[in-house]
Chains A and B, each alone.
Chain A
Amino acid sequence: MSFALEYRKKLQDRERRQRALKKANEGFVTMPLDEDADTRGNRRRVMLALVVAGLLLATLNSAGLVSYTRDMYETQLGRTLIVASEKWHAMMERGKATLLVDSVRGTVSAMRETSWRDLRVVFDLAPVTQPAPAPDEAPVLPASSPELPVEPEMQETVRPQPHKPAGPVMRASADAVEPLSR
């Protein structure tokens, strides 16, 4: 093959390759590049946003703080932080700030336990058939009856707990490199 032909073929090859790359890059939007960015203003904006987000999380998810401090090393500072976070959490609970997270967890937990049968009932695809109770299996507490008084300690223990996953879950410890799953 002559030099000219070889050169032409090379040129064509390069063009084809570039066309292929362009085609493959369609829909592959690169990150925006703004030359006139107000960096100082945007830095302040993000810093403020991070602080607001942090305050929001500390208020509405104070249980997360308690769990985080309990995972800390056994030091004087760690113990102080545990006490402080528990006090903070108790305060948030009294102010009902933790209700949102608890209710979302409750809803998700209910969704997880929903069966196909429940769904059929919800969408009116199957009749609600409850077996009639046997004569000697009368309900101990009718729905309308007043609840039995609960001991103070029991009230503590029956508080809704955060959902626990079915399988093993690793904590966010420094040495958590063993994979949970692949």
Chain B
Amino acid sequence: MTVSELVKKTGLTVINEYKDREIESVYISDMVSDLIASAKPNSVVITLQTHKSLIAAANLAGAAMIVIVNGRKPSEDVVALANRTGIGLFSFDLDSWAFAKKLVHLGFE
């Protein structure tokens, strides 16, 4: 499934211009530095963090998209950095578990 397909199926709010890619894995963490060691390339990262370091770490991990939960929104400088990397930034109104359940229903394991 691609990023744009997942966006359509889950009703995510699109925050930036992103590069559409095939999604291969999922990682949930609110610890930004943990992404470097644990998130896999082409992953969906689910987090409530909105700091710029989130993009710096997700870029090193090769993440495809970031879903920011609980309706939180990043600042403009964070969006600008995400645009440079091509990583998709999205907002989801409910919490991490609610989005994780949607992914499971869509066949992610």
Q: Do A and B bind each other?
A: no
Question: Which residues from chain A sit less than 8 Å from chain B, CB to CB?
Answer: none
